[in-house]
Structure formats: structure tokens, C-alpha cells
Amino acid sequence: MKHFWKFAAALVMLFAATAFADPAEGTYSMLNPPQPTHSGKKIEVLEFFFYGCPHCYHLQVALRDWEKTMPKDVQLDFVPVAFAPSAEPMAYTYYALQEMKLRDKLHDKLYDAWNVDHLYLTETDQIADFVAQQGVDRQKFLDFYNSFSVRSEVMQSKQMVRSYQIDGTPTLVVDGRYIVPSLGPENTIRLLDEVIAKVRRERGKH
């Protein structure tokens, strides 16, 4: 119970950060300084997210459909956010599943666990049990979860949260420069498309 209340407090802080983020409603904002992208010639879209964030959960439904018809010159990647230590296990989980090439299989199921089943996955053994129930080898998952490479990726994601000045989730960043805030799924996707088109026009001028 003590762990639950600590986590509940962390969620309050997380949602407060989202609520008080201050881009003009319906518009994007500029990231200063811009950050390097890792998508080559493609337009990079990063989603900073947390599985336990209900706004992220609702956006994920729209984003999943958007990804199916995503322009071929766009690359979508995800960055798990851990504003509190109790959220860190989900970052480890994300990168472990990514290295196991199981991220797409369990991404939505992890969202459902938190937001539909109200299963607060904050402990390593609890998470390992959950992924095992989805048909994943429990020990193999734990080996990846505790690996140096996954630990390094989590550390890098923390640095990205600082560098990109992320103070709430979900937040989308396009081309390392444009921040698309959470405006509700439909409006967020609309604005995302507009910003991608803007980046495409800018690239066409050079």
C-alpha cells in the first residue's frame, strides 16, 4: 500500500506537469536549442510518453491508426518518460521489449494494463509476470531488462527528457525543433500533420 500511495503522488505530479505546460492552445512551439535527429533523411517524430498517462493512452489509439498511413518520409519513434523513480520500470520494460523485437506486440497491452485494467506495473517481478502472461519468456525478458544496453538506453532517455525540456506527457517533437502539445487525439494528429508539412516545405527550399 505504501508503494501505491507513492506512485499515486507521482502521477499527480505528472498530470500537473501536463496541465501547466504552456504552449498556446492549438499551436506548436519551438524547441530552443534544437536537438539532433537520428532518422537520416526522414522527418523524425518523437513521442514522449508514459504508459500510465491516460492522455497518452487516448492519443495512442489515434497514433496507431495514423502510423498505418504515415507518410513514407516520416519516422515515428517513442521515448518513455519517468518523472519519478516509480515510473522507471516502465522505461526499462519498453527498451527490453524493443531489443527483443516485441515492442509492437505488447505496446498496446501495456497501455491497456494501466488504463483499462488499472494494473500499476511498478515492480520488476510484477512486470515479468505480466509479460510472461503474454507469452514472453520470463527469464529472457529479465535478462534484457537488467542488461547494460537497456540501462544505457534508459539513461539516454532521461537525458533526452532534459534536453527536449519535456514537462508533461504526451508530447510530440518533430524534426528536433517543433513541439506539438497534447490537444486531445484528433487535434494533436491534425497539428502533427500540419507541422510535418511545414518541415517538408522548409526542406524543399534548401
Q: Is residue 61 included in any domain, yes or no?
A: yes
C-alpha span between 85 and 47 (Å, rounded): 20
Q: Is residue 34 included in any domain, yes or no?
A: no
Task: Kindly tell me the burial class for residue 145, based on how many C-beta atoms sit within 10 Å of its own C-beta (0-12, 13-18, 19 or more).
Answer: buried
CATH number reported for the structural domain that contains residue 190 in this entry: 3.40.30.10
Q: Is residue 28 included in any domain, yes or no?
A: no
Average pLDDT of the chain is 89
pLDDT bucket at 7, cuts 50 / 70 / 90? low
Inform me whether the pLDDT recorded for 92 exceeds 90.
yes
Inform me whether the pLDDT recorded for 4 exceeds 80.
no
pLDDT in tens, 99-147: 999 999 999 999 999 999 999 999 999 999 999 999 999 999 999 999 9
pLDDT reported for residue 9: 43
Number of domains in the chain: 1
pLDDT reported for residue 26: 60
Q: Which domain holds residue 88?
A: 44-204
Q: Is residue 92 included in any domain, yes or no?
A: yes
**Beta partners for residue 30, in sequence order:** 178
